[in-house]
Copies of this chain bind each other. A is one copy, B any other.
């Protein structure tokens, strides 16, 4: 007797930064420009970038994510008391812009049968070329960005864009649970869960779970594992 097959999701939404796009190149640049400080700078930069997106979301003070990212880097150097020239910011932003695609993402996207889209905190003018440059072939109509709603995840409006797209992309009526939201950011997977999506957290670096009263339905270490999951069609 065949075991019952898990219901497949109808559509998939991917986060971009850290999920499809690998920031390793950016960290390597920082390490070479500021020997032995690269990881420290990179981690604080990322932390401030996220903080700024949340603070601006909470107060309705939207600014484009590339601006926030550059602001966060300036504040990072100030915090670490590392003297810089303006060209240091430009060089770090350029390196960040030249992210590569994670190999597991490339392999997955090539073989994926379900319709998929990208839902990112990046602003379109900035993240569009980053995705294209990294080889993520996503059309404008399948890319949802913060500048469209002038706020950031995990505020609902950006997930809502993905949800509206997913309903249009499905051949039949679907519920939010039929949308798989894939993110390497635990907070994003939790936000997607709160929104109602089925979330898959790609826990690339083996983080411990946050205590926010919910867990993403799926937790994997690499996108390779997604291929083997019954809910995904490849």
Contacts and interface: CB of A to CB of B under 8 A. Distances in A.
Interface of A: 48, 51-52, 54-59, 61, 63, 71-72, 74-75, 78-79, 81, 154-156, 187, 190-191, 194-195, 207-213
B63 A154 contact: no
A214 to B, nearest CB: 8
Contacts of A57: 58
Contact of A212 (B56, B79, B191, B209): B56
B59 A156 contact: yes
Given A52-B211, A55-B190, 10 more contacts: A48-B210, A56-B212, A57-B58, A59-B155, A63-B213, A71-B211, A71-B213, A75-B208, A75-B210, A79-B207
A55 B208 contact: no
A208 B72 contact: no
16 contacts: A51-B187, A52-B210, A54-B55, A58-B58, A59-B156, A61-B212, A61-B213, A63-B213, A71-B211, A71-B212, A72-B211, A74-B211, A75-B208, A75-B210, A75-B211, A79-B208
A126 B74 CA distance: 38
A194 B59 CA distance: 7
B210 A61 contact: no
Contacts of A75: 208-211
Nearest to A208: B78
A29 B40 CA distance: 28
A207 B78 CA distance: 9
The 4 closest A-B pairs by CB, nearest first: A71-B211, A78-B208, A75-B211, A59-B194
Contacts of A213: 61, 63, 71
Contacts of A54: 54-55, 58
